[in-house]
Structure 1
């Protein structure tokens, strides 16, 4: 008998098995999350040169994939990052506002993060940058599913403002000539940590270390990508950059690069750092099997001289205005997501959790409410529309607005973050296709739109009744009261 013929069925079986395994290989996931990058900063969103610095690498990324014009986040940094990590509106998780320094804060360990779920599928998980979901070591990223982390636990508002920094041009605050008083307010640190091991304080978070932080985050993330690509291991890389969060100061290598000031220099650095990560993915030979998301956690900065450019939208973050909720979003996955597509369909940041979990072949937790919906069929062009028609918008623990299709209903009036929130006796309705700046209340002539919007509110409030939210500052160990669901 011909030896070749006798072994042919076995060879065909092995080849078929290999092809099936290759087709089912889970994609690598890279999330580039910028901090308070406003809707109108990037060239692909009408900014770029108009803001003093072109953004060619990010604009090219947009051409290679999907760009959304109606990607929605939550009103503050902590809530948005919580929603991304858990797929749950932050009001459910007790993470609905930026925590005050010294107060208990963060996700309870009962929550299941995106990193934890992807780990069940054998992913290497790494994070670099701002966590903002737990100030204590027991709630750091490496206790929440990440294999490694380098970054800050809290925020960049705490960069020792009172200390002078000649390089940044910022001087000591009045009455603080001696610098930051560590006896009154503890210094924040940049940490390094690996899974389940005690974190290491690498250096103080100050004006100088913030300037160089994004370069460090990029270097560590690109080495992680290379290492895991060479090992043939799927990876989840979450790069939470510091820019352009105030104080908006570029790395010294970018200072003066544009000739248009620190903001433009920072925008040039934002683009360059994205390019470095994209180059690392390509150089590692995994570009075609890597799903890349570039987004922002909030609308633009609201404090002079670091105000962001929010494009056509009015208001600031820490409100339910469109300038707060709409953020840039670009998705590239070669061979899966059509290139050059632009869509105004509604997507919420919670949807990324569910979509990425399913893309990895993992299971969404079924023992809790998950608000995110799977958008992969929409992202890949298998269907024309989003699987989401709208959502409720909380600002801290205040239900402030509802978005539904192209309509927006305000329940609380607050345009700027420093304005007092004023409950409205009658809700204010806007058509966001004809009234981008939310200036004209057309509720009287469009009462037909109110029932479906208020029904959305009713369903959400009912879910909070059935599944009571976790109180802010709840300590571990935490377990939900299942009797409340009966």
Structure 2
């Protein structure tokens, strides 16, 4: 027998005992989103006022992103996360107000829909703010099997109301209950994890209403921060949110899921003026870095390097195609995405495929350069002069280089002109008929409105309880 023929049976024998490596199992995906938190309020970003051991643990056991970008305010960022598309395309460039009935465009495909189509259980626990009135805009109609939390921008954290209107729901049914919203959300997430389906992975989206105003927290937590002489209740909100993050981490640990879960913590926009955005200029609603660059940490043991930092350019829209890749979901089934698959960047440190970020139709970063067009403004941020910054070497945006580099200004202006052509008409912003209703959600108000009106005063929803506000 020739040597070649003798080798063949040996190879067949080895193949019997050395099967091909199985593909990596699809991870559970958990996204924890804070609201209006300052960049430098966390321990891992240099904060010293409030201990945040649980959030810091995610950063320590995972990867910190130092150039992670969102939009300047909440709804545009949330819509970008949900759709993988910029807000001027998905109808959320302007956020819904307390009295408006418009929402995210209905032909947009959400990441929850994509993951559910791929076999995931999809849960949302927390703040939605992508439409709070019409049923087709609400979470259960946008891909989530389960929703618990509130629809609008903000609530009283104890009465779960806004302007006396109940905004607390579970799967399209109003919920009247006592409890501090941050802790209630954590307990709901904990229950979902404990009672998860055994035969499929899950996607948990947990956007806290903390640390958004009204700044409220339990008295015993607020008392620890009165010594600071500034917004003690906002600091207490942050501590409470960190405790809630710890509840989720403990549930994953207890259920043996930590190694099978991609866990992300980030923020929806820059911090408000009563927070600290560290070295960055500006705050929420501003196009400067303090309004759009936010902390982000990702953990997946064994898949994402631990205790590392990445300065890769990444935007919140990039989560959509990245999640789809990991979940074996079809990223291309909906409208064209603006996000990039950045998994190789996160896991292996390869260069980011992204070279530009759009903050609005008048603000762009391309490579090292960031242009704020003359006249750009947003909400409480006044009109701005023409500005050009070398953002890599001047992240604090101290030196306007527009006069020195007219050719770069012209190039970026041409790019913005191209981008403006992609904008779509949002839904008309009409007022909720007969505002205020008893409860947010048109169907809920119709079915449960009278019952809510009879019950809401007993809970104290219309009262201003200064002690629960931490005296702020």
| Coarse TM-score class (shorter-chain normalised) | 0.7 to 0.9
Give the alignment partner of residue 241 of structure 1, picking from 194, 205, 208.
208
For 1:249 and 1:121, the matched residues in 2 are separated by 39
Alpha-carbon distance, 1:452 to partner:
4.7
Give the alignment partner of residue 65 of structure 2, picking from 63, 68, 73.
68
Deviations 1:220-246 (A, max 9, x none): 1011112226x2420001111111101
What does residue 270 of structure 1 align with? 241
What does residue 450 of structure 1 align with? 409
Deviations 1:7-45 (A, max 9, x none): xx99x879948x62xx34211000000111121110111
**1:99 has 2:70 as partner:** no
For 2:115 and 2:16, the matched residues in 1 are separated by 30
For 2:203 and 2:374, the matched residues in 1 are separated by 38
For 1:111 and 1:41, the matched residues in 2 are separated by 34
What does residue 196 of structure 1 align with? none
What does residue 189 of structure 2 align with? 221
Instruction: Return 5+ residue gaps in structure 1 as ranges.
Output: 1-8, 168-179, 194-198, 475-486
Instruction: Return 5+ residue gaps in structure 2 as ranges.
Output: 1-11, 431-472
For 2:426 and 2:379, the matched residues in 1 are separated by 25
Deviations 1:349-405 (A, max 9, x none): 11111111111110113452211111111011251x2111112221xxxx2311122
What does residue 440 of structure 1 align with? 399
Q: Is the 8 A contact 1:78 1:132 kept in 2?
A: yes
Deviations 1:67-101 (A, max 9, x none): 11211111111111100000011111111122223
For 2:398 and 2:166, the matched residues in 1 are separated by 41
Q: Is the 8 A contact 2:114 2:329 kept in 1?
A: yes
What does residue 382 of structure 2 align with? 420
Write the mapping of 1:20-35 to structure 2, written as runs, cut at 5 A: 20=22, 23-35=23-35
Deviations 1:149-202 (A, max 9, x none): 11111021x549xxxx9x9xxxxxxxxxxxx9x9xx661320111xxxxx1111
TM-score (norm 1): 0.78
Alpha-carbon distance, 1:421 to partner:
2.4
Task: Extract structure 1 runs of 4+ deviating beyond 6 A.
Answer: 12-15
TM-score (norm 2): 0.80
User: Which deviates further from its counterpart, 439-448 or 291-300?
Assistant: 439-448
For 1:126 and 1:63, the matched residues in 2 are separated by 26
For 1:13 and 1:473, the matched residues in 2 are separated by 65
Give the alignment partner of residue 299 of structure 2, picking from 303, 317, 332.
332
What does residue 431 of structure 1 align with? 390
Corresponding residue SS for 1:388: coil
Q: Is the 8 A contact 1:94 1:472 kept in 2?
A: no
Q: Is the 8 A contact 2:96 2:131 kept in 1?
A: no
For 2:392 and 2:293, the matched residues in 1 are separated by 14
Instruction: Count residues in correspondence.
Output: 414
What does residue 52 of structure 2 align with? 55
Write the mapping of 1:41-440 to structure 2, written as runs, cut at 5 A: 41-47=41-47, 49=48, 52-136=49-133, 137-156=135-154, 159=156, 187-193=165-171, 199-203=172-176, 212-228=180-196, 231-252=198-219, 254-257=221-224, 260=227, 261-302=232-273, 307-383=274-350, 385-394=351-360, 399-412=361-374, 418-422=380-384, 424=385, 427-440=386-399
Q: Is the 8 A contact 1:118 1:357 kept in 2?
A: yes
Q: Is the 8 A contact 1:243 1:270 kept in 2?
A: yes
Alpha-carbon distance, 1:259 to partner:
5.7
Q: What is the root-mean-square deviation in Å for CA atoms of aligned residues?
A: 2.9
Alpha-carbon distance, 1:419 to partner:
4.0
Q: Is the 8 A contact 1:95 1:472 kept in 2?
A: no
For 1:56 and 1:325, the matched residues in 2 are separated by 24
**1:37 has 2:37 as partner:** yes
Q: Is the 8 A contact 2:286 2:381 kept in 1?
A: no
Alpha-carbon distance, 1:308 to partner:
1.6
Corresponding residue SS for 2:397: coil
Alpha-carbon distance, 1:105 to partner:
1.5
